[in-house]
Each structure stands twice: as C-alpha cells, then as structure tokens.
Copies of this chain bind each other. A is one copy, B any other.
C-alpha cells in the first residue's frame, strides 16, 4: 500500500518510511497546505487535517502535528508552538521560564491517518522532559535546543539525530499507528 505524508519536511518522511517499512507500505511526501483547527489537542489537529487531505487527494494519507507543552505555562505553547517559534522564538519561551522552578515539559505528537470518505484516526506519542535554562546544541530544529528528555543530560539539539529519533514523540506516535494498522488493516 502507498500512503502520502502531507509535510514539507523530508526528514519526517524518512523517519516514517523507516517505521512503516514493517507494514510493507510505501511512504511518499506530498506538499499540501491544510487548515489547522484551533484546539489545545494535537490529536484534534491531526484528525481534522487527515480528513481534509485524504478527501483532497483521494488516497490514504498521514499528517502529523507536534507541539511543546510546558506545565508551568499552562501547557503553552502547545498546538501553537510553530506560531510562537516564528514570533517570540526560543528566547521568548526562556524568558517566560526565568525563575520558574517547575521545568517540566513534554513534546506531544499526533499522527493522523485517513482514507477518502473514511473516519480519520489519530495516534499519539509523547516524550517527557524539562526546559533547560539556556539553548544548547546545533542539531535538531525548533525547540530542540532547550528540551532535555528524561534520563538525559543533553538537549535534543545535542543528541545525534538517530539517538533523538529513537526516543522521539514522533516515533512513538508512528509506532502506535503501525501497531493499529497491523491489527486493523492486515495485508493492505
């Protein structure tokens, strides 16, 4: 089976390709914009996006939505992470965390899957960690330089990409999707 992954990021497609290989599925990148619903939940954004893109393209699709959720900031920036990155940036988020003792945060990802005319499904993955007091590392992107996952001393931006991917929220969401597909869509 061939599934289209609606994203502008080729690295995400490569990651998905590796994980979906166990299903024998082919993953193809498609560049398509879709409206993102306003909701505090990455699952809602992924469900809505998957339905829209599947109907638009007329074939099975996956989309994904990711956000950084900081507990001390009432889970800001959450599903608005990209917008916040493009405006106040990592520097702004660190400012909001100055003098804040509770550093807990998690990356959340939801993968949405849909076939045309069908009901979309969402699969979630999260990775717990803390917000560092300063940006560290040159790797990764987005909030990676200030996020340290549990049990680690390096930020995501300091870890080699394979190491980061091995524990990533996106991998977990994709793995949940694969487990479901093996059960519900055998032989597709």
Contacts and interface: CB of A to CB of B under 8 A. Distances in A.
A74 B91 CA distance: 13
A84 interface: yes
Interface in A66-117: 73-78, 80, 83-84, 86-88, 92, 95-96, 98
Interface in A159-186: none
Interface in A8-64: 35-38
Contact of A74 (B38, B73, B86): B86
Contacts of A76: 83-84, 87-88, 92
A123 B74 CA distance: 33
Contacts of A84: 76
- How many copies make up the complex? 2
A175 to B, nearest CB: 28
Interface residues of A, number: 20
A75 B86 CA distance: 10
A168 B87 CA distance: 26
A37 B75 CA distance: 21
A89 to B, nearest CB: 9
B80 A83 contact: yes
A18 B168 CA distance: 55
Contact of A92 (B36, B86, B96): B96
Nearest to A78: B87
A74 B83 CA distance: 10
Of all A-B residue pairs in the complex, the 9 with the closest CB atoms, nearest first, are: A76-B87, A74-B87, A36-B38, A92-B96, A76-B88, A95-B95, A73-B88, A88-B96, A73-B87
18 contacts: A35-B37, A37-B38, A73-B87, A73-B88, A73-B92, A74-B87, A74-B88, A75-B87, A76-B83, A76-B84, A76-B87, A76-B88, A76-B92, A77-B87, A80-B80, A80-B83, A92-B96, A96-B96
